[in-house]
Amino acid sequence: MNSTTASLSGLLAAGMLLSGCGGSASQGPAAPAVSRAASASPASSRQATAAASPPLTVAAPSAPGSPPAAARHASGGITVNPVGAVLPNRARTPGAVNPSVSQANIGQTICVSGWTATIRPPASFTTRLKKEQLASGYTYQGDTATRDYEEDHLISLEIGGAPSAEANLWPEPYNSPEGARVKDVVEGKLNALVCDHAITLATAQRAIATNWWTAYLTYVGPAPAH
């Protein structure tokens, strides 16, 4: 009886031991599985967030607003040489040519009477530009009255100057010994020389853009008496 009881007790103990081991065995692998899921959860969360959020982009810069009219121009006023001839500020008005005029087509462009009238910019444009230039300090002896100036093409239209380029336009004063009316003379002379094939178009353009007063003395003659 005692031996039977001992056998039963041994079997029960073995059964309990096996049951405990089985429980540990079934629960053991489950814990690492949860741990992996937990460790994977932040990555999954980041992936889900990334999928839901739009990609980061850098916005294109917006176009700047137009600066004040005077700010679009370099500073500086009109130059007066030792004999009193007024010259444009080279930094502001270096001169510009009309790409539609070439040596090959002067017979159809600048040498045709009345042709410049077909390309001359409207007075509304040149008057506005003149006012802006005068307001920014592009003046003769501080005079800002628009009526005292001609908005002049440094390289004149008669020798292929650009009609509307600001680099070719400047407020040339009338009230100076050697001013707008004197420069008009050399412009006509250079046109005649180019159309007579006495000088090239490029030579005339370069001469007047470099120093219109020197061009006057070279191609017209001595300064007019006052």
d(Cα 169, Cα 158) in Å, to the nearest integer?
14
pLDDT of residue 113: 96
d(Cα 152, Cα 126) in Å, to the nearest integer?
9
Burial class from Cβ neighbours inside 10 Å (0-12, 13-18, 19+) for residue 56 reads exposed
Per residue in 123-147, pLDDT (tens digit) is 999 999 999 999 999 999 999 999 9
pLDDT of residue 69: 39
Closest CA to 110 of 192, 189, 182, 170: 192
Rounded to two decimals, the pTM is 0.66
Q: Which residue has the tokens 């050697």?
A: 178
User: Which segments in the chain show pLDDT lower than 70?
Assistant: 1-75, 177-179, 225-226
Per residue in 59-70, pLDDT (tens digit) is 222 222 233 333
Q: Are 172 and 183 in contact (CB under 8 A)?
A: yes
Cβ-proximal residues to 83 (8 Å cutoff; 6+ apart), any chain: 178, 213, 223
